[in-house]
Amino acid sequence: MREAELLEPLIPAVRANLEHRHSYVRRNAVLCIYSIYKHADNLIPDAPDLIFDFLSAEADPACKRNAFIMLLNTAPEKATEYLGGVLDEIESFPDVLQFIVVELIRKLVRQNPQLRGKYIRVIFGLLKASSPAVRFEAAATLLHLSAAPSAIRAAASTYIEILVSESDNNVKLIVLDRIGTIKQRHPKVMQELLLDVLRALGSPSLAIRRKTLQLALDLVSQKNIDEVVQVLKKEIARTQAKELEKQGEYRQMLIHAVHMCAVKFPDVASKVVHLLMEFLADDNASSAYDVVLFVREVIETYAELRAQIVAKLVEQLEYVSAAKVQRAVLWIIGEYSESKDELRTAYKAVQKAVGPPPFVRADADDDANDADAAGNTDGTADDATSTRKEHSGPKLNADGTYASQSALVPDSQTDAGQSSAAQAAVPPLRANVTGGDFFLGAVLGVVLAKLTLKLNESGELSARDTNRVRAESLLTMVGILRLGRSSTPPHPIDRDSAARLYQCIRALTDASADTLRDILLNQSRVSFQTMLRDMAEHNKRQSTLTGDEDDQKREAEALEAAARVQADELISVRQLRTRRGGDMSDNDDADEADLSRATGAAELLDAALESKLNRIVQLTGFSDPIFAEAYVTVHQYDIVLEVTMVNQTGDTLQNVCLELATLGDLKLVERPQYLTIGPGAKQTLKASIKVSSTETGIIFGNIVYDIAGVANEADRNCVILSDIHIDIMDYIQPASCSDAKFRSMWSEFEWENKVAVNTNIDDCDRFLEHIVDSTNMRCLTPTSALAGSCGFIAANLYAKSIFGEDALANVSIEKQPDGKIGGFIRIRSKTQGIALSLGDKITLNQRGTK
């Protein structure tokens, strides 16, 4: 109620309620006076003095809070006067009042920076408040008040204390975001507190651990690298000692963190490599693969560690079960075994792990033929088969020759108990090879060829031993080839693996194959060294695309704006000006203008204004009784609609109600209140909508109202609103991840949306840039891989939503003979909504411009 004629008779009663015996009545009386004074200050001209006296005498915290809020917004000088009298008592105030004190101090210092020294002591005191919320706000205010290292350290320490002590995971994630903001502005201070930040690894939430490790990797420095690695080693040991949530994934994250620390600071590699090698046989293949990649880089970088690492790998080889880890381990053993003893030990370990040939069981087809033949003679095939099973001697083929058998590969027709026992006795390397992994078989042949050639060149073996080693290696390679062409494995050997094995056989048997031997013994390591250099350059480029990308863009824009200043333009230094001669407001305005121009804030302001205009959605037509438009503000987890309604009729509209509904993962928080709009008048109301996932949503509804003076209407008047479409791009942010993690998520995510390319852009590179810009994703494929003009492109894109959802995309396009671009864009995510919404976005925007 805002009509002055109706409010005026009620003023005495409202003032009297300030002394009511119930605190509930008193605090609502304060709010009532606040509302009246805000809309009609002439009705209670002494309201600030009245509330100031009330605040000084009141004891109820809620009443004091409401009174303080009124003074803060209507009479800041009165609020400042009251605050000055209770500065020493603020730390004993209840938390609801401490909140308002912090807000007042922030507002006063913003208006008058000279008051910073007066109130900063109060903020330091509130950092020790009992309420975590008050400490959080006090730390944020302290960061605004001072940039001194002591203040930054105190605020960061408060955030870390809240991070460690609070049990709510949402609070922890928000605090980690704040710590990340401090890290960007004051990295040196945060580096000193890194060990305290790592205490958050004790949280049971994997998301918090991941974010903490990412923060730690950004803050690690030469001074704290040893302590950080020590903490990570303890965490790795803890994952072995007890069961944790998603233990394997957490261990993989820790191993990756240690790997990145060793890449940044190579001196620590020798301290952690032996610990990490214990996880080569880990059940989690991803973490074991990370370990072996790290070991591969370390053994190339540190020549003094090669003998120890090779010996440890030889020892661990028979326990490694993952095929991709076995391939890397075998390659390292074959490449870096140098001395005579290392070569002999490595060769014996590889032969033991793969077992003696042959790798083929008795041929099933020949067995079937034998059974048929026996059936023709004896009457039944079953009798012949049973006779062959009972016979304990060697098996014969149809032509009378002996069938190949292996004691390490059980026959499929044997007893189930014997078969399972034999399967358990098969070494993991042999099991993977006989199971059809011929890529691993090709790597095994290359390693045996390298070891055989090195033993031959060492001259330490006799001619007899040299021939024996070569014969054993050739038998293993031929056995793998025979296995690939038999019916035993689930699929035949591929051409690449077979060609690789033939090359190894030729290198061992052909005396003129010097080029092949040079490739095996020398060029392989040269190629690996080149790959390491390329990876280092790629990581350096990727580091510039992490969280500071926006800051770098702003700095570049500021430099560009500063470059526009003329060389002979006057430079005014505020600190050197005299303060005599009157008011300095004009000079301060000039300073603000200079600062705005130097930082490019004016251009940013224009861009922000244009962005606001783009977010205004017209809801009704100009001829409707009520014209309505909405300004849509998208926050992190909610959407605020600020709806302006204009009465275009000559009647007073009563009970005007905005009725909204949603589609998608949107939820209306509260129903807007009823309004009364006079002729030609306008009213503004707000509606909050909660967002729970990254999905394109639709907000729709209508406006219903009554016309004053028109009674007994059959139906209420109604105006249908236009739909508001919420853009998914408001929640998508570019992100980076490793190739291994991308492949892991790609195989894990079940929702896929395949979009056919239909565009008038005729250049593959420009089309890829257009897709990256329109989807707000980041291209993970390095620039070097996209260079050239081969007529086709395959690139991986990655983004992350503000809700932590991952969005993957693969762009596979080619230039067709008619000059157009064809292909597909495949999108994968864990949830259906983000996959479909991104696909719709790409479909709408992929055509681009010519």
> Angle at the Cα of 24 (from 18 to 30), degrees rounded to 5?
40
Q: How many CA atoms lie within 13 A of 376 on its CB side?
A: 5
Q: Which of 617, 614, 626 lies closest to 653, judged by CA? A: 626
CA 819 – CA 837 distance, rounded (Å): 30
Between residues 378 and 224, the one the model is more confident about: 224
CA 334 – CA 127 distance, rounded (Å): 60
User: Residue 567's pLDDT is what?
Assistant: 61
User: Residue 499's pLDDT is what?
Assistant: 92
Could you write out the DSSP letters of every residue in 28-84?
A: HHHHHHHHHHHH-TTTSTTHHHHHHHHHHH---HHHHHHHHHHHHHH-HHHHHHHHH
The answer for residues whose C-beta is within 8 angstroms of residue 473's C-beta and 6 or more apart is 448, 449, 451, 452, 508
Tens-digit pLDDT profile for residues 665-716: 777 877 788 888 888 898 888 888 887 666 667 888 899 988 877 765 555 6
Statement: the pTM of the whole predicted model exceeds 0.75: no
CA 708 – CA 700 distance, rounded (Å): 27
Query: At 91, which amino acid appears?
Result: E
CA 369 – CA 381 distance, rounded (Å): 10
CA 77 – CA 67 distance, rounded (Å): 14
The strand pairing partners of 662, in sequence order, are 699
Mapping DSSP to helix (H, G, I), strand (E, B) and coil, where does residue 443 land?
A: helix
User: Residue 572's pLDDT is what?
Assistant: 61
What confidence tier does 809 reach under pLDDT thresholds 50, 70, 90? very high
422 pLDDT more than 60: no
User: Residue 49's pLDDT is what?
Assistant: 82
The 8 Å CB, 24+ separation contacts for 656-661 are: 656/626, 656/683, 656/703, 656/704, 656/705, 657/703, 657/704, 657/705, 658/685, 658/687, 658/701, 658/703, 659/701, 659/702, 659/703, 659/704, 660/687, 660/689, 660/699, 660/700, 660/701, 661/699, 661/700, 661/701
User: Residue 527's pLDDT is what?
Assistant: 86
What is the chain's percent helix, strand, coil content, to nearest 5?
Answer: 60, 15, 25
* Sheet bearing 626-634, strands edge to edge: 616-618, 626-634, 638-647, 682-691, 666-668
User: Residue 554's pLDDT is what?
Assistant: 46
Residue 693 CB neighbour total at 10 angstroms: 16
SS3 for 615-646 is: CEEECCCCCCCEEEEEEEEECCCEEEEEEEEE
User: Residue 76's pLDDT is what?
Assistant: 76
CA 98 – CA 135 distance, rounded (Å): 10
Between residues 264 and 476, the one the model is more confident about: 476
Dihedral pair phi/psi, residue 725, rounded to 5°: -95, 125
Query: At 786, which amino acid appears?
Result: L
267 pLDDT more than 90: no
CB-based contact 753:836 (threshold 8 Å): yes
What confidence tier does 543 reach under pLDDT thresholds 50, 70, 90? low
CA 225 – CA 212 distance, rounded (Å): 16
624 pLDDT more than 50: yes
Mapping DSSP to helix (H, G, I), strand (E, B) and coil, where does residue 3 land?
A: coil
Tens-digit pLDDT profile for residues 166-191: 888 888 888 888 888 888 888 888 88
CA 282 – CA 319 distance, rounded (Å): 9
Tens-digit pLDDT profile for residues 582-605: 444 444 444 555 555 554 445 545
> Angle at the Cα of 448 (from 445 to 454), degrees rounded to 5?
140
User: Residue 405's pLDDT is what?
Assistant: 53
808 pLDDT more than 90: yes
430 pLDDT more than 60: yes
581 pLDDT more than 50: no
Please report, rounded to a whole number, the percentage of residues in the chain having pLDDT higher than 90. Answer: 7
Worst-scoring range by mean pLDDT, 177-181, 279-283, 643-647? Answer: 279-283
810 pLDDT more than 90: yes
Residue 313 CB neighbour total at 10 angstroms: 24
Mean pLDDT of the chain: 78
160, containing H or E segment: helix 149-165
The strand pairing partners of 798, in sequence order, are 778, 808
845 pLDDT more than 60: yes
Q: Which of 65, 79, 53, 56 lies closest to 27, judged by CA? A: 65
Q: What is the DSSP letter of 721?
A: P
The strand pairing partners of 640, in sequence order, are 633, 688
Q: Provide the pairing of β-strand 806-815 with 821-829.
A: antiparallel
Tens-digit pLDDT profile for residues 226-251: 888 888 888 887 877 666 667 777 88
The strand pairing partners of 117, in sequence order, are none
What confidence tier does 844 reach under pLDDT thresholds 50, 70, 90? confident
Tens-digit pLDDT profile for residues 309-339: 888 888 888 888 888 888 999 999 988 888 8
Between residues 16 and 90, the one the model is more confident about: 16
User: Residue 850's pLDDT is what?
Assistant: 42
CA 100 – CA 137 distance, rounded (Å): 10
